[in-house]
Copies of this chain bind each other. A is one copy, B any other.
């Protein structure tokens, strides 16, 4: 192996490493250690506390799969709340839908600032979209205080450590459920399907009291170690697992998506049998 390697520190027993050609930027923010590298395989990457968060070339898998399944499951989403996701990738995907507004609440201004400066392709022109509102602040407090109601909430967080712990707590899911319109949906990243199955079970168990429908789906997020990544949806109405393929095709026509497809939606919610003990766990 030649050159410098960035070794992802996200997991105790398996990891990914990427050959990097340049450390572009680094700073200690009040919340985390932030680094931006140029990598040989995935282009520029954002690294928080040693864990790869997003990459220029492959971010679309994670962001498309965070945003579109729930947005397509809702009959007509107009207002979206995004907690975290300061790189703007989830915001860009959400705004492809005919929304009236999307509010992004990121606790760490440095993530937004450095993403906009060094990883501009991840958000595209999302931050300039007149429908977008950017709030720098604590997403948990914001959700508690806002008078607004949302059709879909997306939680684009790091794993449950540091300032993200509260985003996995029952109080937070309860707050979000109260701030959703009837039939609204909450989506959270719920960790690696390979080495964080306890996290998946915990997220499902924690959501259950607040959402009559809880579904977990997976996607191949190749820049994360273990790769098969899980997302969990709590729904007050529609079952996101059974959106008709025709609906998805119609709703996403012209979006220029690179990962999410109608058959991909179906397959994502039908996890392979070896994962079902976790992805279909109830308690």
Contact = CB atoms under 8 A, between A and B. Distances in A.
A85 B126 CA distance: 49
Contacts of A264: 267, 270, 272
Contacts of A263: 266-267, 270
Interface string A201-224: 000000000000000000010100
A259 interface: yes
Contacts of A261: 270, 272-273
Contact of A222 (B13, B227, B260): B227
Contacts of A259: 272-274
A19 B14 contact: yes
Interface in A1-36: 1-2, 5, 7, 9, 12-19
A225 interface: yes
A257 B275 CA distance: 12
A228 interface: yes
Task: Output the residue of A194, A220, A259, A267 with the most chain B CB within 10 A.
Answer: A220
How many copies of this chain? 2
A153 B61 CA distance: 33
B1 A9 contact: yes
A47 to B, nearest CB: 15
Interface centre among A2, A7, A259, A274 (most CB of B within 10 A): A274
A39 interface: yes
A150 interface: no
A258 interface: yes
Given A259-B274, A263-B266, A12 B7 contact: no
Contacts of A258: 272-274
A168 interface: no
Interface string A159-196: 00000000000000000000000000000000000110
Interface of A: 1-2, 5, 7, 9, 12-19, 39-42, 60-61, 194-195, 220, 222, 225-228, 257-261, 263-264, 266-267, 270, 272-274
7 contacts: A2-B12, A14-B41, A60-B274, A227-B228, A259-B273, A263-B267, A264-B267
